[in-house]
Amino acid sequence: MARGEEILHIFPDYMRDKWGGVIKQAEDLQEIRLRIGREVIVILQNEEWYLAEDGQVTKERNDACLIAERDMEAILNHICEYSVYAFADEIKQGFMTIPGGHRIGLAGQVILQEGNIIRNIKHISYMNIRVSHEIKGAADMLLPYIYEEGRLFNSLLISPPGCGKTTLLRDMIRQISDGNSYGKGMAVGVVDERSEIAGSYLGRPQNDVGIRTDILDACPKVLGMMMLIRSMSPQAVAVDELGCEEDMKAVHQVMQCGSKVIATIHGDSLEDVMNKSFLFDLKKNKSFGRYILLEKVGGKCGVKAIYDRSFELCYG
C-alpha cells in the first residue's frame, strides 16, 4: 500500500474526500495535528499549514476547518477497528503504530493507578499523526567514519529535536545489519521503546532495518538491552534517545559483553552532551569511538561534525 493510501485509511469513509489534497502530497507530509474544537494543522516539509474545508492547504486561519468531538471519536474508533478496549495497552502508552509504521500520538485525561502508573487515557482530545519516512541511503556518508578496517565503532548520534536522528539511526541499523562496503553484515538488536525506529505493527517491522536485525518493540531501553544480549546474542545493539543514568549503565553492560552500541541522544553540541552528569563514566572511559553531531540549517538536516573518542574532529 502506498504511503498516501496508508494515511487515508486512518480516516473513516465520510472524511476521506476532505483529505484528498493533502494525501497527494504524502511524500512531503510529516505531521497532521488534530485537536477537538481547533483548526487542523498539517506539516509539509517542516512548514505549517491549515487544512481548508475544500481539502486544500492554506495559510489563512479563518479558512481552516475544525475538528469536532464526533470526528475525533470516529477517527479513534476507526483506527481501533471499532474496539477501543482491545487497544487499551497501546492507548495508555500515549501512541499507536499503524500499518506503514506511522505513529499516532494521543493525549487527553490520564487515569492513574497506585504508584503513579498510567492505567488509561480517556476523553482523547488531541491526536498527532506522524508520517513515517524511510530514507534508504541516509547514512551513506557516515559509513567511512563509523568503521575502521572492518570494525564498527560504538557511535553516539547527538541531535537537537527535529533533525532526523531517528531516520539516520534507522538507515545505520539497516546498513550495519545487511553489510556494506566498509564492514560485513552483523546481527543487530534494536530496543525500539517508542516504536519509532522499526515502526513495528503487530510485532513486525514496517521499515527495513536489515536482514540480521531482531527487535524488542515497545520495551524500555534498560530492560531491553540486556534481554537482547541474553536471548539474541547481537553483535551490535541500537537504541534511540538515551536520557538517564540507568540508560547509560545498561549501555556500559552491553559494551562489557562485547557488543557494539549505536545510540542517539538529544543535545545542541558536543559540549552540551558531555556536560550531562550521567555521561561522565562513558566520557572518562572513552567508550564511544564516534560522536556524530547533527544540525538543521535552512530547514534541511545534516551532519555538522564527527568526533573521535578523544573528541578530535574527524569531519566538519
- At 4 the pLDDT is 87
β-pairing verdict for 260-266 and 236-242: parallel
If 0-12 CB within 10 Å is exposed, 13-18 middle and 19+ buried, where does residue 39 land?
middle
Residue among 17, 6, 63, 25 nearest 201 (CA) = 6
CA 74 to chain centre: 26
Q: What pLDDT shows up at residue 117?
A: 81
Each residue's pLDDT expressed in tens, for the chain with a length of 316 residues: 688 899 999 999 999 988 888 888 988 999 999 999 999 999 998 899 999 999 999 999 999 999 999 999 999 999 999 988 888 888 999 999 999 999 999 999 998 887 778 888 999 999 999 999 899 999 999 999 999 999 999 999 999 988 889 999 999 999 999 999 999 999 999 999 999 999 999 899 999 999 999 999 999 999 999 999 999 999 999 999 999 999 999 999 999 999 999 999 999 999 999 888 888 888 888 999 999 999 987 767 899 999 999 999 999 8
d(CA 57, CA 304) in angstroms, rounded, equals 33
Q: Evaluate the CA torsion angle 228, 93, 98, 300 in order and state its sign.
A: negative
Secondary structure of residue 310 in the 3-state scheme? coil
Evaluate whether 240 touches 169 at the Cβ level (below 8 Å): yes
- Grid-cell match 487527553, residue found: 108
| Domains in the chain with CATH codes | 3-130 (3.30.450), 140-315 (3.40.50.300)
What are the phi and psi torsion angles at 2 (to 5°)? -70, 155
